[in-house]
Chain A
Amino acid sequence: MKKRLPQIFFILGGLFLLTLFFLPLWRITLLAPQYPNGVDMYIFINKIGGSEPGTLQNINILNHYIGMKPIEPDSIPELKILPIVVLVFSGLALIFAFINNKYLFAFWVVLFIIACMIGLYDFYLWEYDYGHNLSDDAPMKFEGESFQPPLIGNKDIINFIAKSWPHWGGYMAMISIFLTATATYLKFKTNETTE
């Protein structure tokens, strides 16, 4: 059983990724006195939504005062690419677990972490674009003010506090990394002791 442990961990790591199809990766919350419950935007690998059907429209209404372009999930190609990427990683994890090779394990973990970093950088680029690429016709202009939400953490943006933190899906991805990394570590360790 103990011998099988790395393999089981790796399979679990791969399967956990599939939860990203229904758990949001990230949550951005806007807080202001008129929004006592906050406005929550959830970012999934395949969609962007709010706590209610009208939330995205409400966020876009707020953003249009400062000339930010509307968030239109259909025009964000990543939402079509990410599901494939996640499926590939999940599939590879299962295949590698079946082959049960420590170098393939390590390769997967490194590749997945790099993919996550690229994903975060891409998220930052989108945030930068939304926060800086403002319409010249904006009804309200604030000299020198940036409307870019934080990549991670809390930030004051004019009358709002913007909070940006990983959500359930993000934590699942972290658990996936933890499981596969542990599996790789155990794999290397058991190989050393048996050899």
Chain B
Amino acid sequence: MRLLRFCNKYSKVITMKRFRKSKKPLLQIAIIACFMAMSCNNQSSNNQASGILSGDVASKVYVGPGEYDEFYAFMSGGFSGQISVYGLPSGRLLKVIPVFSQDAEKGWGYNEETKPMLNTSYGFIPWDDAHHPELSQTNGETDGRWIFINGNNTPRVARIDLSTFETAEIIELPNSAGNHSSPFTTENTEYVVAGTRFSVPIPQKDVAIESYKEEFKGALSFIKVDEEGHMNIAFQVLLPAFDYDLAHSGKGKSHGWTFFTTYNTEKSHTLKEVNASQNDKDFIAAVNWKLAEKYIAEGKGIDMPAEHVVNRYNEKTHTATSTTVPTVKVLKPEDCPGLVYFLPTPKSPHGVDVDPTGEYIIGSGKLSADLTAHSFTNMLSAIENEEFETTIESVPVLKYDKVIGGVVKKPGLGPLHTEFDDKGNAYTTFFISSDVVKWKVGTWEVLDKVPTYYSVGHLMIPGGDSKKPQGKYMVALNKITKDRYLPTGPEMNHSAQLYDISGDKMQLLLDFPTVGEPHYAQAISADRVQPKSKKFYPLEENEHPYRAMGEKDTRIERDGDVVRIYMTSIRSHFAPDNIEGIKVGDKVYVHLTNLEQDFDVPHGLAIQGARTAELLVMPGQTETMFWEPQREGVYAFYCTDFCSALHQEMQGYIRVSPKNSNPELKWSLGEDDEE
């Protein structure tokens, strides 16, 4: 390694010297690089990955076998509907957490216990579009309790428990459409917010689309999160029919406010790419949620019929329940003075990001060449002095020059999102020019610029939207992959790049594909999550109504055509493994309890012809497969997760008799071989 560093250093020195003298610098570099590559190759053949001119980049992302990454990164799968968990800096995939989409690999949304998690007021929906993971915070710092994520299409917000890395709760959002400005948290996770991207008639009704300006509204939801993490919609704010794009809550001095970007302040309902891009300035909506709490306490909230569901997974019963809530409380600006203000912001602002001090609210006008930073202090005095440009549907519009705090001039094209480090710097993505720009908060000067591959959307710095960023790494989350990896036909996973941002200049370290789309991501120090990670579920705490606490508990019960099989698994057999007395047309529920009490010993269950996915049951857990046998015969079932040396022997048979027969229910394990 030392030799390699010497070689690298030496090659750089030579390169620089020749560079100055030569008239053909590129050719010289190439020749010298080749020479150095040959001469250094022998000494460094065990570490070729580091490349000859790249310094020790490889060692910065190398996490040795059996060693752990420094950060957990949670990347949204975008249109996959899931979250994938990566280790940083290695970029290794640790797990895909099923959230909004059925996942046959894990039985998520297929087994009876998790089907209610995907229930909505429309019924069961097996997919959604998941965009923004958001870690829970305490005192403005990520705390490793939960991560939230939005479902765009059928508006929902999910909460994932970081002790199990499983989705624990999904709440549906009524009066919303395209739940995009979501689920951004307040600094103690008092709320996660969920603004609608598309305005719709509220309440929904059969009206002409042309009546958009009269009939449509935009709803911003504030979801209360209690100590256990349970979510309930505390209130919705009904606003003009704009598109509410992204959000961030204030922190420190601006705690108590949440900021939402808007576009389509033109209130167009067709050809929005043109018609929603006409105004020079759209708005950032500043919502005073502490005042909203006061208005709710005063009874200003209107109970509006708005059926929606709350789905909760119970870790003791290992079962989800879906509950319908009939109404939401709605606040209207005309009844609630001071609740919302509009801050004019150039050209269809996309991301809105609040710096770690809470003073600056950065609006990224995606069709603008500049970045706008509003000052929270200025905003408060503009409100105080009633510096209003106009009022739109009872919402005062503050004067642009009274709220502006600074402008970053021409840093790039198409600014989208900004995150922060712990040294007073900000990092903004530029979609059109495909780069990330580092700039100084307060002086607004551009410090550095690096290309991304290609067309970066969000970026992520661990804790980069909290009060305490950990500015060691930055990940660019890209929309377009093109030639970055070996081609895989027309469709490719989207790419992400990891940069070292600990120095003055950003340095590209790693380029890796992600599951689906890495729309947005958040990362957290492993030490805030790892110690709490559960190894298995204690069997004695299992409260599943159809559990079997031991092999003595296993049995089969028939009630009409409903048959319940209480089955257990332990290395390396099912109990029972010979089952007779099932008939064609029965509704069979196989309740499998995994009796194991050891880390990483799941058992799976698959039954031939069952029109569903496997079960994958963690130690101490009970899961249920629903099976309607269609044909008489004897069907094999087996364990799908390679569990032990005798995994291939972990199998059994179920006999299916004709529909009109009257077979005796029989079940056994290891008995009949004696005869």
A61 contacts B571, C-beta separation under 8 Å: yes
Q: Which of B595, B597, B619, B644 has the most CB of A within 10 A?
A: B597
A140 contacts B645, C-beta separation under 8 Å: yes
A55-88 CB mask vs B (1 if < 8 Å, else 0) is 0011001000100000000000000000000000
List residues 554-588 of chain B with CB under 8 A from any CB of chain A.
570-571
User: Is residue A52 contacting chain B, with contact meaning CB distance below 8 A?
Assistant: yes
**B540 neighbours in A (Cβ, 8 Å):** 53
User: Is residue B335 contacting chain A, with contact meaning CB distance below 8 A?
Assistant: no
Q: A61-B570, A61-B571 are in contact. Are A53 and B597 (CB under 8 A)?
A: yes
Q: A61-B570, A61-B571 are in contact. Are A54 and B597 (CB under 8 A)?
A: yes
A139 to B598, CA, bound (A): 22
Question: Closest approach, in angstroms, between the C-beta of B552 and any C-beta of chain A?
Answer: 14
B646 contacts A58, C-beta separation under 8 Å: no
Residue of A52, A65, A139 near B597 (CB, 8 A) is A52
B598 contacts A65, C-beta separation under 8 Å: no
Residue of B538, B539, B646 near A65 (CB, 8 A) is B646
**A65 neighbours in B (Cβ, 8 Å):** 645-646
A58 contacts B598, C-beta separation under 8 Å: yes
Question: Closest approach, in angstroms, between the C-beta of B620 and any C-beta of chain A?
Answer: 9
Question: Closest approach, in angstroms, between the C-beta of A55 and any C-beta of chain B?
Answer: 8
Closest-by-CB residue of A relative to B571 is: A61
B645 contacts A53, C-beta separation under 8 Å: no
User: A-B pairs with CB below 8 Å: how many?
Assistant: 27
Q: Which of A54, A57, A139 has the most CB of B within 10 A?
A: A54
B259-295 CB mask vs A (1 if < 8 Å, else 0) is 0000000000000000000000000000000000000
**B645 neighbours in A (Cβ, 8 Å):** 65, 139-140
**B646 neighbours in A (Cβ, 8 Å):** 65, 139
Closest-by-CB residue of B relative to A39 is: B598
A53 contacts B598, C-beta separation under 8 Å: no
List residues 21-70 of chain B with CB under 8 A from any CB of chain A.
none
B587-629 CB mask vs A (1 if < 8 Å, else 0) is 0000000011110000000000000000000010000000000
A173 to B583, CA, bound (A): 64
Question: Closest approach, in angstroms, between the C-beta of A34 and any C-beta of chain B?
Answer: 9
List residues 118-152 of chain A with CB under 8 A from any CB of chain B.
139-140
Question: Closest approach, in angstroms, between the C-beta of A189 and any C-beta of chain B?
Answer: 55
Closest-by-CB residue of B relative to A64 is: B571
**A140 neighbours in B (Cβ, 8 Å):** 645
Closest-by-CB residue of B relative to A52 is: B597
A52 to B619, CA, bound (A): 14
Residue of B538, B539, B597, B649 near A58 (CB, 8 A) is B597
Question: Closest approach, in angstroms, between the C-beta of A50 and any C-beta of chain B?
Answer: 10
Question: Closest approach, in angstroms, between the C-beta of A26 and any C-beta of chain B?
Answer: 22
Question: Closest approach, in angstroms, between the C-beta of B571 and any C-beta of chain A?
Answer: 5
B640-675 CB mask vs A (1 if < 8 Å, else 0) is 000011100100000000000000000000000000
A30 to B596, CA, bound (A): 18
B132-172 CB mask vs A (1 if < 8 Å, else 0) is 00000000000000000000000000000000000000000
**B595 neighbours in A (Cβ, 8 Å):** 57
Question: Closest approach, in angstroms, between the C-beta of A20 and any C-beta of chain B?
Answer: 27
List residues 137-183 of chain A with CB under 8 A from any CB of chain B.
139-140
Question: Closest approach, in angstroms, between the C-beta of B647 and any C-beta of chain A?
Answer: 12
**A61 neighbours in B (Cβ, 8 Å):** 570-571, 596, 598, 644
B515-530 CB mask vs A (1 if < 8 Å, else 0) is 0000000000000000
**A52 neighbours in B (Cβ, 8 Å):** 597
A53 contacts B538, C-beta separation under 8 Å: yes
A46 to B539, CA, bound (A): 24
Question: Closest approach, in angstroms, between the C-beta of B284 and any C-beta of chain A?
Answer: 52
**A54 neighbours in B (Cβ, 8 Å):** 536, 539, 596-598, 619
Closest-by-CB residue of A relative to B570 is: A61
**A58 neighbours in B (Cβ, 8 Å):** 597-598
List residues 537-557 of chain B with CB under 8 A from any CB of chain A.
538-540
**B644 neighbours in A (Cβ, 8 Å):** 61
Question: Closest approach, in angstroms, between the C-beta of B553 and any C-beta of chain A?
Answer: 16
A54 to B567, CA, bound (A): 20
Closest-by-CB residue of A relative to B538 is: A53
**B570 neighbours in A (Cβ, 8 Å):** 61
A52 to B536, CA, bound (A): 11
Question: Closest approach, in angstroms, between the C-beta of B601 and any C-beta of chain A?
Answer: 8
Question: Closest approach, in angstroms, between the C-beta of A85 and any C-beta of chain B?
Answer: 32
A61 to B649, CA, bound (A): 15
**B649 neighbours in A (Cβ, 8 Å):** 139
Closest-by-CB residue of B relative to A54 is: B597
Question: Closest approach, in angstroms, between the C-beta of B522 and any C-beta of chain A?
Answer: 30
A150 to B477, CA, bound (A): 57
Question: Closest approach, in angstroms, between the C-beta of A29 and any C-beta of chain B?
Answer: 16
Q: Which of B570, B595, B598, B645 has the most CB of A within 10 A?
A: B598
Closest-by-CB residue of B relative to A50 is: B597
Question: Closest approach, in angstroms, between the C-beta of A36 and any C-beta of chain B?
Answer: 9
Question: Closest approach, in angstroms, between the C-beta of A137 and any C-beta of chain B?
Answer: 9
Closest-by-CB residue of A relative to B536 is: A54
A58 to B619, CA, bound (A): 12
**B598 neighbours in A (Cβ, 8 Å):** 54, 57-58, 61
**A57 neighbours in B (Cβ, 8 Å):** 595-598
Q: List 11 A-B contacts (CB under 8 A).
A: A52-B597, A53-B540, A54-B536, A54-B597, A57-B595, A57-B596, A58-B597, A61-B570, A61-B596, A61-B644, A65-B645
Query: Beyond the given A58-B598, A139-B646, could you list 8 further A-B residue pairs with CB under 8 A, ordered by the A residue number?
Result: A52-B597, A54-B536, A54-B596, A57-B596, A61-B570, A61-B644, A139-B645, A140-B645
Across the A-B interface, give the 8 residue pairs with the lowest CB-CB distance, nearest first: A54-B597, A58-B598, A61-B571, A57-B597, A139-B646, A54-B598, A65-B645, A53-B597
Write the residues of chain B forming the contact surface with A, with a CB cutoff of 8 angstroms.
536, 538-540, 570-571, 595-598, 619, 644-646, 649
